[in-house]
Every structure is written in C-alpha cells, then in structure tokens.
A and B are shown apart, each in its own frame.
Chain A
C-alpha cells in the first residue's frame, strides 16, 4: 500500500470514528488502534488531529462536489437537477452516513476546530462551488428566481440537511426515500422563477 493509499485509509477510519463518537472523544490513539498502527506511525501521516479533521473536510467536500458536478453537467432542467441532488444527499445519508454525519456533527458543530485554515470556503469550496454553479445556471436559464445566494443556499441545504439529521436521529416515521419527491418539489417551488 502506497503512502497516499495508507493516508486515505486513515482518513476513512477517522471519518467513521469522528462521525460516530465525535471529534473530541476520538483520540489519535483510537484511530491508530482501529488501523492496527502505532500512535507514533500515525504522526508520519498527520501531525495533529486538527490537521486530519481539516483534510477530512476537504475530502468529504470533494466527494459531494464531484457528485454534484456530474449532475450539473447533465442536460436536464433545474427541477430535475434539484431532485437528483436531493436523491444524492439522501442516498449518501443512508449509504455513507459518516460523510453526512461528519459534515453536520463535526464540521458544523465544532467550527473552532476549523477556525485556522478552513475559514469561509477554504475547505468546502469544491462543494459550495458546484452549488453556486447549479444556482447560477438555473437563473441564467430563467428556471430559478434571481435572489440572494445564501437565501437560496440555506433553503436548499438547510432543508435537506435537516431531514437527513432527523433521519439519523431515528425521528422520521418513514424511510428517507419517501421524502425525495415532496422535498424536491418544495425546494423547486421555493426557488423557481
């Protein structure tokens, strides 16, 4: 296994632990143990838990960003794209919950960890840029209403993030899939031109 591959393995392991147990409760020793590595060797890959957390944020943001980019590149309407993005997010919440959990439970809940080096868009730009492109093209094609970016961003991501959170908390009465259609329609109705 190359050093880069090993690094990715550590990140995936840390992602699971951070998402499951939280950032502060998880120690480098926990991650090393899970990896079957010595703590000393861990530091050959990441010099601190904070730097690992930041790289993970870039990593998860890129995974989301790459998937949304595929949707952006599709020759379909903004309405259909909204549904695809909701579908993508809910599927990730189900299939790879650690990604969504990491974003919501670690990044958004512990901003102090990311205050030095991940300010603003620095570590989430891959994801936010694709959302910007989705909105910009929707308005350009006159399918979406021209409004403040964050008013639209909050409505979209806050809404689906909230639903994914409720799902993970076991509060939703139904499966997340059943919310794809109504949630997509609500978002479209709120954003359409």
Chain B
C-alpha cells in the first residue's frame, strides 16, 4: 500500500461503541499519523464524499429498508464504498453478524449477509465492542501490507483462534468444577451457573486485557459471548442448562468426553479451592 493509506470509516446502524473502543487505543495518535483519514463520523476529517479508499472500515449493522445516512440510502452508500475500497474491515458484531441492531454486512447471524459477495476483501472483527488493540492490529497489518491469517469467517486467527476462556484467572476453578456461589466473589468459575460463555466464545479478552488490566470474567462478570454470531442472547447472567447439564460445552470436545471429565474432576474434590482463599469475614 501507499506510505499513507487512505482510510474511510463509515458508521451504519449502531451505537458508535466500536469507535469509542478504538479511541482508547493507547497509540491512536501514532496510528492516525500513519494514515490519511478520509472520513470518520466522530473524528475531525475531511468533508464527506463518496470516494476511493485503501481501507474502508464499516461499523454498525444494516437496515435493508430505506435508512438515510449522509443523504444516501444506507445500503446503497455502503455498496458504493465497498466497491471503491481495496480492503474492508468489518468492525463490531453488528457489522459482522447483525448483532443488536439489524443485519450484518458480511453475515446475517448464521447466514450470508447482504455484502457477502465481497468477502474476499473483508476482514471481520466481531466484538461488542472489539478490543482497541484488535482494531489497531488489523489496521497496522494492512498499513504494513502484511498477510493476515484468517479463519473461515474471515476473522484474524491471531485474535479469534482463542476462546475468551484462555487466560482467564478463574481457570483453576473451571478445572475442578468449582462454581462461584455468590455473584461478585473473587473465587470460583462462572461457567456452571453464572452464564459465562468463555469456553465457547472466540476472542482474546483474557489474553489482551481491557484497559490493559482486566476482563469481564476476571472482574466477576460472565463472558457474554459478544464476539459470536448469536449475540445478544437472553439471560446473560444464567447458564443455560438441560437437566442441569450445560447446554453449551467447551469448543473442541465431545459432550460424552466433557461430561466424563467434568464428573471425574468434581468427584476428586479440590479441598483447597472448595473454600474461599481470602475470607474477609475473619
């Protein structure tokens, strides 16, 4: 690419949360210095006009009925911008899968989305919002003209090969099947009762920490699975179970194998972890 790639950031139907996440990138100034920002709805940029770009970033979902945006019908505008761009970063779960607000640009939940035909030049960054470093990583890779390894859904493998379970500081409790008994306690796993979707959610939230210090499960909130196509689900603070057995089990393991190992781990009770490590009451 050019020494200063032209970047166009368009917001579709959404909350601008992905933009705000990006604004928290620690080296945003240095990154912005490396690009020529053609348009961003919130940052100072040139006057809006439909034009060619090296990198188009689409934030937010689509509405396929008439939806005005910058004097265009939204879907028509997005179509024009995609055609005029070399690479497209589809940023946020709304844009990738539809998320909270509507239809996705690349996918519509599990189906192909309105602009699936342009998949070749798209990079998907689901998340509600995606971590600022994930967004910056992809922009930097494109600036450097480096190859981004991607999975079948065009998500960068570097970010989405992992689950948000990986790196969770509660993993020892998961190993021994020791649940959080009370919301907000430091000890215990959030998977069995509190709704944590970490073991089956593709994300790096516990590897690349939020604000460089934390993640939802570390702070005691279950992973909501916000990078996944089914997001948002209902009852985010309650694990869905069928006859007491988690409806969703960790990725990559069969149900029979998981139940066997879970039953054995539970039977071999870990005494140390069965009580609070730090009891503030005495």
In the assembled complex, B273 has its CB within 8 A of some CB on chain A: no
Knowing A119-B267, A122-B268 are in contact, say whether A135-B243 is a contact too (CB < 8 A): yes
Question: What's the nearest-Cβ distance from chain B to residue A183, in Å?
Answer: 20
User: Which residues of chain B from 204 to 242 have a CB within 8 Å of any chain A CB?
Assistant: 241-242
Question: What's the nearest-Cβ distance from chain B to residue A121, in Å?
Answer: 4
Q: Are A146 and B241 in contact (CB under 8 A)?
A: yes
Interface residues on A, range: 20 to 34
Question: What's the nearest-Cβ distance from chain B to residue A186, in Å?
Answer: 18
Q: Are B255 and A133 in contact (CB under 8 A)?
A: yes
Q: Are A140 and B242 in contact (CB under 8 A)?
A: yes
Q: Are A121 and B267 in contact (CB under 8 A)?
A: yes
CB < 8 Å neighbour of B266 from A120, A135, A144, A148: A120
Report chain A residues within 8 Å CB of B278.
none
Binds A, one of B51-59, B132-140, B141-149, B257-265: B257-265
Contact with A along B238-280 (1 / 0, CB 8 A): 0001111101000000011001100110111100000000000
> Bound state CA distance, A139 and B240, in angstroms?
12
Report chain A residues within 8 Å CB of B269.
119-120
Q: Are B243 and A119 in contact (CB under 8 A)?
A: no
> Bound state CA distance, A25 and B188, in angstroms?
45
In the assembled complex, A132 has its CB within 8 A of some CB on chain B: yes
Which among B247, B266, B267, B268 has the highest number of chain A CB atoms within 10 Å? B267
Give the nearest-CB partner of A69 in chain B.
B256
22 pairs across A/B with beta carbons < 8 Å?
A: A120-B266, A120-B269, A121-B264, A121-B267, A122-B268, A125-B267, A128-B263, A129-B259, A129-B263, A132-B259, A133-B255, A133-B259, A136-B242, A136-B245, A137-B242, A138-B243, A146-B241, A146-B243, A148-B244, A149-B244, A150-B244, A152-B243
Chain B interface (Cβ within 8 Å of chain A)? 241-245, 247, 255-256, 259-260, 263-264, 266-269
Chain A interface (Cβ within 8 Å of chain B)? 119-122, 125-126, 128-130, 132-133, 135-140, 144, 146-150, 152
9 pairs of A and B residues whose beta carbons are closest in the complex = A120-B267, A149-B244, A139-B242, A121-B263, A135-B243, A136-B245, A136-B242, A121-B267, A129-B259
